[in-house]
Amino acid sequence: MIEAKNVWKKYGDQVVLERINVSVQEGEFVTLVGASGCGKSTFLKMLLGTETPSEGELLMDGKQIRDEPDRDRGIVFQQYSVFPHMTVLENVMATKAFARKGLTGYLFGESRKAAREEALHMLEQVGLSQSRDKYPDALSGGMRQRLAIAQAFLAKPRILLLDEPFGALDPGIRLDMHALVLDLWKAYKMTVFMVTHDIKEGFYLGTRLWVFDKRRDDPHAPGRYGASITFDLPVGKIDHTTYQQIDDQLRPTPVPDPVFMEKQNA
Ligand SMILES: Nc1ncnc2c1ncn2[C@@H]1O[C@H](COP(=O)(O)OP(=O)(O)OP(=O)(O)O)[C@@H](O)[C@H]1O
């Protein structure tokens, strides 16, 4: 479904990504991990169509990905993106209206009734039925993110891009969100790409994990080389050594603890 053939992305002199060669089948759940600033979001933006490769080809169903977002591709960001002046139910119904008629669309009669039914069902699935008449301001962070996820799934994109969707949430709520996203992914059978900083989350959620890292580095010219995909792993088949290797690679070099060092040297 998605194929990257020797994709490079540069901003001016800075090479962000280089030599990306991958193919993804419909229905896969790919998690993307890597050091901050190594180009994970840039890769998602190229899939979304808001950025284009500087070199190489990024294909969907064998055709160049369109350089503007469309209904085949949806995205959820770390900071929720919902309409503050609409209630929870109106927010979710708006997704249906936009999907049908474009940004100025309104729904009437039977189609409005059907959209309402569908929206109510989705709110039930994400556990927001009780809050359907509230405005986003009155929701917790986790509830707002549920709302953003409900909107994204209701639009039924073929590809769903999740850019650290749980990054701002407490660990307990993150676990609930994992279960929610896995349930919805199974029910809606879409292809998911999810950026996360949490390698455990990457292993738990995905069917496949990509590690972005630089294969080569020039300390005098940090922008000279870009990151590529250094590990492409089927999740669930990973041995402890590989896990440790990736974990070490992603962790910043620890700063020595001065008190500990003093004791060691005493
Ligand atoms: N529009 C842009 N113009 C110039 N440079 C950009 C632009 N967008 C991203 N960059 C640069 O590209 C690099 C990769 O950014 P990107 O946001 O893709 O990294 P990331 O891996 O998602 O980081 P993080 O994990 O911190 O979100 C960064 O050095 C960033 O400054």
Distance between Cα 41 and ligand 1 center (Å): 7
State pLDDT tens for residues 43-52. Answer: 999 998 889 9
User: Any residues with CB less than 8 A from the CB of 113 and at least 6 apart, and which?
Assistant: none
Q: Is the CB of 41 inside a 6 Å radius of any atom of ligand 1?
A: yes
Q: Is the CB of 38 inside a 6 Å radius of any atom of ligand 1?
A: yes
Whether the complex's predicted ipTM is more than 0.90 is answered with: yes
User: Any residues with CB less than 8 A from the CB of 90 and at least 6 apart, and which?
Assistant: 83
> Quick one: pLDDT at residue 164?
86
Q: Does pLDDT of 257 surpass 80?
A: no
Q: In the numeric block, which tokens belong to residue 209?
A: 């994990």
Q: Alpha carbon of 192 to those of 12, 56, 208: distances in Å?
A: 30, 22, 10
> Quick one: pLDDT at residue 78?
65
| Confidence class for position 104, pLDDT limits 50, 70, 90 | very low
May I ask the CATH class of domain 25-51+65-72+157-266?
A: alpha beta
Q: Does pLDDT of 108 surpass 80?
A: no
Q: Does pLDDT of 248 surpass 90?
A: no
Atom of ligand 1 nearest to the CA of 223: 29
State pLDDT tens for residues 194-243. Answer: 998 888 888 878 789 999 998 888 888 888 889 999 999 888 555 666 66
Instruction: Please tell me the distance from the alpha carbon of residue 211 to that of residue 120, in angstroms, as a whole number.
Output: 38
Phi, psi of 217 (to 5 degrees): -145, 140
Q: Is the CB of 91 inside a 6 Å radius of any atom of ligand 1?
A: no
User: Dihedral sign, CA of 87, 91, 96, 101?
Assistant: positive
> Quick one: pLDDT at residue 235?
80
Q: In the numeric block, which tokens belong to residue 62?
A: 């064998």
Neighbours of 148 (CB within 10 A): 23
Q: Does pLDDT of 260 surpass 50?
A: no
Residue nearest to atom 2 of ligand 1 (CA): 11
Phi, psi of 227 (to 5 degrees): -85, 155
State pLDDT tens for residues 109-163. Answer: 666 777 888 889 889 888 889 999 999 889 888 888 888 888 888 888 889 898 8
**Prediction pTM value:** 0.82
> Quick one: pLDDT at residue 224?
85
Q: Is the CB of 196 inside a 6 Å radius of any atom of ligand 1?
A: no
Q: Is the CB of 214 inside a 6 Å radius of any atom of ligand 1?
A: no
Q: What percent of the chain has pLDDT over 90?
A: 30
Q: Does pLDDT of 102 surpass 80?
A: no
User: Dihedral sign, CA of 228, 234, 239, 244?
Assistant: positive
Higher-confidence position of 7 and 98? 7
β-bridge mates for residue 26, sequence order: none
> Quick one: pLDDT at residue 243?
64
Delimit the domains of the chain by residue range: 25-51+65-72+157-266, 84-156
Instruction: Please tell me the distance from the alpha carbon of residue 98 to that of residue 107, in angstroms, as a whole number.
Output: 9
Contact 119, 96 (CB under 8 A): yes
User: Dihedral sign, CA of 13, 15, 18, 24?
Assistant: negative
The count of C-alpha atoms lying within 13 angstroms of the C-alpha of 149, restricted to the half-sphere facing its C-beta, is: 31
Contact 16, 70 (CB under 8 A): no
Q: In the numeric block, which tokens belong to residue 216?
A: 């080569």
User: Any residues with CB less than 8 A from the CB of 261 and at least 6 apart, and which?
Assistant: none
Average pLDDT over residues 27-33: 92
Least confident of 9-23, 92-106, 120-134: 92-106
Helices marked H in the chain — which ranges? 40-48, 88-101, 109-125, 141-154, 171-188, 199-205, 240-250, 258-265
Instruction: Please tell me the distance from the alpha carbon of residue 146 to that of residue 126, in angstroms, as a whole number.
Output: 6
Least confident of 11-25, 68-82, 251-265: 251-265
